[in-house]
Copies of this chain bind each other. A is one copy, B any other.
Amino acid sequence: MAPKVIDKAKKRKDMALACSNLIHDVGIKNLTIQKVADSAGIGKGTVYEYFENKEDIIFEIINIHIENYQNQFLKDITTFSSIKEKIFYFFNFVLNDDEETSKHFNGYREYLSIIFTDGNEGMWDFNEECNIFIEEQLNQIIQEGIDKNELNPISKKFIKPIMIFEKGLVLVKMTQKNQNVKKECENFINELFALISTKEGIKNV
């Protein structure tokens, strides 16, 4: 009945990984199914055994990128001690310009470009999940600040705004050259912290 059972989900990931660099090299606009097939070492028709369409491929790749990024985040965040450092690392995605992070950032940009014309249910769900993840992370950081008596309890009201501000920075970076996102971020966080820190907290610069 079933000769050679294939784990489609695994093969999906393998194939996406195989052309994860491809998308980075040529960009979505120039990514063709043929290139994907060649890159994965299979026939063009086979691609459609695992992916519904081109957008679906991009989606899988972005999934992997985001997953990697989140894992890295969870690892790295523990290495920072001060609340402010942690907050700034929260903005790492948009502030850091090293090759690895840029890869994630650009991948996300291409992903957004698809959503904006072709969003499907799976994508909305995925976005929702990502959002829950970052809200949890930020919530933890802020809560820690409050517990340590460095931040005023009112700070909790600014969790969502900080998240939204981060998204705003993403949009700024994606739409405007010569905008110093780092400066704007520092400005906002510093000014905000001046308002929501306890007297305790202000001492520990």
Size of the A side of the interface (Cβ < 8 Å), in residues, is 42
Residues on B with C-beta less than 8 A from A127 are 175-176
- Given contacts A164-B172, A165-B164, is CB(A191)–CB(B157) below 8 Å? yes
- Chain B: which residue is nearest A126 at the CB level? B175
How far does the Cβ of A121 sit from chain B's closest Cβ, in whole Å? 10
- Given contacts A29-B117, A113-B112, A118-B29, is CB(A167)–CB(B161) below 8 Å? no
Proximity bits, A7-35, B CB within 8 Å = 1, else 0? 00000000000000000000111000000
Residues on B with C-beta less than 8 A from A29 are 117-118
- From B109, B114, B165, A165 is in contact (CB under 8 Å) with B165
B175 and A168 contacting across the interface, CB-CB below 8 Å = no
A131 and B176 contacting across the interface, CB-CB below 8 Å = yes
B172 and A167 contacting across the interface, CB-CB below 8 Å = yes
Residues on B with C-beta less than 8 A from A118 are 29
Question: Could you list 13 further interchain pairs (A-B, Cβ under 8 angstroms) beyond the known A28-B117, A161-B192, A164-B188?
Answer: A29-B118, A109-B116, A110-B116, A110-B117, A112-B116, A113-B116, A124-B175, A124-B177, A127-B176, A157-B191, A161-B165, A164-B169, A165-B165
